[in-house]
Amino acid sequence: MKIILRILLSALAVVVLSKILPGVGVDSYTTAIIVAIVLSLLNFLVKPILIILTLPVTIITFGLFLLIINAIIILLADSLIDGFQVTTIWWALLFSLLLSFLQSILFSLLKEDK
């Protein structure tokens, strides 16, 4: 149940950011849910491989290259999903940063008080 809420909150964040950022577009709410699912799968499957392959560059840049890896994941999702458009890597980088920030705010609402 919690995973469904996380996906729906991620989809909400994708829709909000697509309304704010002119370089990012989502056709429908269903597409936003698909984007949230695909991004979570890419972050789970592809991102660790990219991190391992680019480990020397990541170490030299003190971890800042991870921002570029996040933008590459966004552009990969753009190429996989028809109704999701990101125009440049700069919009993907900004979208990635704002999506992470917005998700951290929204996911904090799901945390249970102990």
pLDDT tens digits, 13-41: 999 999 999 999 999 999 999 999 999 99
Confidence (pTM): 0.89
Q: How many domains does the chain have?
A: 1
- Let me know if residue 113 belongs to a domain: no
- Let me know if residue 114 belongs to a domain: no
pLDDT tens digits, 82-112: 999 999 999 999 999 999 999 999 888 888 6
DSSP class per residue in 33-95: HHHHHHHHHHHHHTHHHHHHHTHHHHHHTTTTHHHHHHHHHHHHHHHH-TTEEE-SHHHHHHH
- Let me know if residue 66 belongs to a domain: yes
**Residue 43, domain extent:** 2-108
